Amino acid sequence: MRRPYKISADVQDWQAFQIMAQQEGWRVPQNELSLHRLGGCSQAWALRDESATIGLVTGVRHQHSAWIGNLIITPTMRGRGHGAALFDHAAGELRAAGVTTLWLTASAAGAPLYAARGFHSVGQIERWVRQEGRHGEGFLAEERVHGAHTDAAIWGDDRSNLLHHLESAGTWLRHGESLALLHRGDDLQIIGPWYSAGERQDDAVLLDRLVALAAAQQELVIDLVADSGRQSLLAAAGFTPGGRTELMVSGPIQVQWSRLLALATLGSCG
């Protein structure tokens, strides 16, 4: 039997990934899966043993930075170094494409793997969940805004390709200096990215409007930067905490942390 080999992921690999992810209890929104399958700013690599998919990892490239996510190995093949090999392959491909900074969110179990490869923690990401939106009330056309310019200023990179995809199923809202994107999918709704100039009252009013705009009978999720200090606002708006991960990076960063409240996606795309 030959050693497992790495390839660009295809339909077979994504089908296997969805089964593995479901077994792990992962929440991978359909909107995110469509981003990976479309290509463009996203790539995915699979690890195969003969003809069977045994692992997958994704990479979302921006101009100077990229996010690695969704690293998974089927349970029967773990403990053999396959996850490390697949991660190293993805990181090498992204760096070869000109990326200088790599981001990821790590579980407690996964953090040592990344730390051994030069990644360091810059904080924690907390997941907050509300069981449903309020009632999906409408919004005025003149309230439409776009956040790519603000996003670039805060992250120090052009992430417009990712944002363009999320905007296709979303709505930007602003109140004062607080700005966020609500994007919907078949399975859940996400608030993010969310940016602020530090005015808590602006953030509270915007959060109330986002909850009102969100559809009822569908979960509403935020991946909050833990150091943002907005936990009390989320709790008051009916959100409850649902776990946390470590935000890790390798390479130079220019993030304006004081303005960043929440990630754009559930960890794996930034």
Q: Give percent of the chain with pLDDT exceeding 70.
A: 95
pLDDT above 50 (res 142): no
Asked whether the predicted pLDDT for residue 140 surpasses 60, the reply is no
Per-residue pLDDT, averaged over 34-50, amounts to 87
* Model confidence at 147: pLDDT above 60: yes
Mean pLDDT of 118-140: 85
Q: What is the pLDDT of residues 244-255, one digit of tens each?
A: 999 999 999 999
Average pLDDT value over all residues in the chain: 91
Per-residue DSSP letter, 264? S
Residue ranges of alpha helices (H) inside the chain are 11-24, 30-38, 82-96, 111-115, 148-155, 160-167, 200-213, 231-236
Mean pLDDT throughout 51-63?
Answer: 94
- Confidence (pLDDT) at 136: 66
Nearest Cα to Cα of residue 184 among 140, 216, 150, 160: 216
Contacts of 192 (CB under 8 A, 6+ apart): 180, 181, 222, 223, 262, 263, 264, 265
Q: What is the rounded distance in angstroms from the CA atom of residue 268 to the CA atom of residue 66?
A: 10
Question: In this model, does residue 61 exceed pLDDT 50?
Answer: yes
Pairing relation of β-strands 178-184 and 189-195? Answer: antiparallel
**What pLDDT band is residue 1 in, cutting at 50, 70 and 90?**
very low
Q: Is the pLDDT of residue 187 over 90?
A: no
Residue in this structure with the two tokens 């093949």, named with its chain if needed = 77
At residue 37, the pLDDT reads 80
pTM metric for this prediction:
0.93
User: What pLDDT is stored for residue 6 in this prediction?
Assistant: 78
Helix ranges restricted to H, 52-199: 82-96, 111-115, 148-155, 160-167
Position 115 pLDDT exceeds 60:
yes
Q: Domains along the chain?
A: 5-123 (3.40.630.30), 126-262 (3.40.630.90)
pLDDT grade, residue 19 (50/70/90)? very high
pLDDT of 133 > 90? The answer is no
Specify whether the CB–CB gap between 267 and 125 falls below 8 A: yes
pLDDT value for 30:
86
Q: Is 149 helix (H, G, I), strand (E, B) or coil?
A: helix
Say what the pLDDT of residue 138 is.
Answer: 54
End-to-end CA distance of the chain, in Å?
Answer: 38
**Phi, psi angles (nearest 5°) of residue 68:** -105, 135
